Amino acid sequence: MKRKVGSTEPSPRIKKRPTVVVPDYCDVTMQQDADGEYIWPAPKERMERARSFIRECAESGRRTLIVPDKDADGLSSGVIVYRTLEALGLDSSLIDVHLLSKGTTVHSESQRQLMLEKKPERIIVLDQGSRSGPRIVDDEEVKCLVIDHHNATDEDRPDGAEFISACSYPPVATASLLTYELCKPLNSQVASECGYLCTIGTIGDLGQTLKWKPPFPDMTEVFKTHTKKAISGAVSLINAPRRTATFDVESAWDALLNTQTPKEILSNPRLREARAEINDEVERYTHAPPKFSKDGKIAVLRINSAAQVHPVIATRWAGFLKSKALEIVMVANSGHLPGMTNFSCRIARCALDKDPPVNIIESLKAVANLSTTDLTTRMGEDFARGHKEASGGIVPHAEFEEFMTLMKVGEKPDLVPGAEGKKKSIKVEQKNTLNNYFSKA
């Protein structure tokens, strides 16, 4: 309705939401040791012990088994170790790799047996997370090194394993960055031959907008040799095969190991095919409508896909949904593994500047602890794993539904006292819809 000429009634103004200022990843308070020196990417004594382990593998001619995680960060870490061992003189015939089967961990009995069958003398586990438990393989003669950056304590390690983690020393290094920093002093070839692998893994975990500021290493020369566009493209391709229903991690590993530049990876036909398949699957499920926990802090989207697209969809929605209460976006996938619900959680962008910071792992455990039964035990060790900023889990369907009930997903929030007498707000049609948003993306 137009105002009449001469009307003194002010035009209604829409109050804009404040812009969320996300600090740079490296703009954090670093930990210091007793001498006032900064601790990064991990304590010096741990770094030296890990280097000694890697050096001993090569110098003693040990049959070494590399066990990397399935994503760009884990696979890049594995290739860095592989090339470092070769540079140190270990014959490639003595280096083997074990890629985990779909839906398993390094602690799964089936994988422990498969690793043992390869008859290793040394095992290097990368980016798999770490928790207390039995030895990686049932052979006391086999020594193991765990290199990681997921949330863990000093006690969260397999029996008999050497353990180094970056998780407690901000800005937390990715597994590939920690591995790169470990291996650089061991041989002069590492910096020149593995720098781009470090960037592939790190960008894979932290995103393309990452600013390589201290204490992160200066990668100026790497980005002069290899464009950021090529590196980002390689990240997308390396991550694609493991997301497919066939869980084709081997194709991604082979592509990284058998090329010398990210540009070579871009032309790999199998990786391109896998990426197209995942793009189609993401588009198919990304418009699933969210429901909210009663307190409004968690948005939940439910999908049913054999592909591992729930992390991608969670990341997309985390950048889109906005509300004062919202903290976490969860995407639950009931079709990835038989009988299990895989779910991924990300901090909503609108909550990134909250003080204190959102801790997904603590939030998930807090909900689970509301149970008056043994729900936490029944959900198992794969619940609330990963990082404080990006967590998730794999739990049986029935237990996940119990968890949803505890969150009161879909229930309306309680009315604020005195709100009953307030007038209902006028409904305004939203023109910037989710379909429009993702069609532009």
Rounded CA gap, 204 and 74, in Å?
A: 10
* pLDDT value, residue 428: 45
Half-sphere exposure of residue 54: CA atoms within 13 angstroms, side-chain side: 32
* pLDDT value, residue 420: 55
Q: In this structure, are residues 252 and 75 in contact, taking their beta carbons and an 8 Å threshold?
A: yes
Q: What is the pLDDT along the chain (441 residues), one digit of tens a residue?
A: 455 555 555 555 656 666 667 789 999 999 999 999 999 999 999 999 999 999 999 999 999 999 999 999 999 999 999 999 999 999 999 999 999 999 999 999 999 999 999 999 999 999 999 889 999 999 999 999 999 999 999 889 999 999 999 999 999 999 999 999 999 999 999 999 999 999 999 999 999 999 999 999 999 999 999 999 999 999 999 999 999 999 999 999 999 999 999 999 999 999 999 999 999 999 999 999 999 999 999 999 999 999 999 999 999 999 999 999 999 999 999 999 999 999 999 999 999 999 999 999 999 999 999 999 999 999 999 999 999 999 999 999 999 999 999 999 999 988 766 655 554 544 545 555 555 545 554
* pLDDT value, residue 149: 97
* pLDDT value, residue 435: 58
* pLDDT value, residue 297: 97
Beta strands (DSSP E) in 13-159 are: 64-68, 95-97, 122-126, 143-148
Cα 324 to Cα 14, 138, 350, distances in angstroms: 16, 51, 8
Rounded to 5 degrees, what angle do the CA atoms 401, 309, 329 make? 55
Per-residue tokens: 293: 């926990």
pTM over 0.75: yes
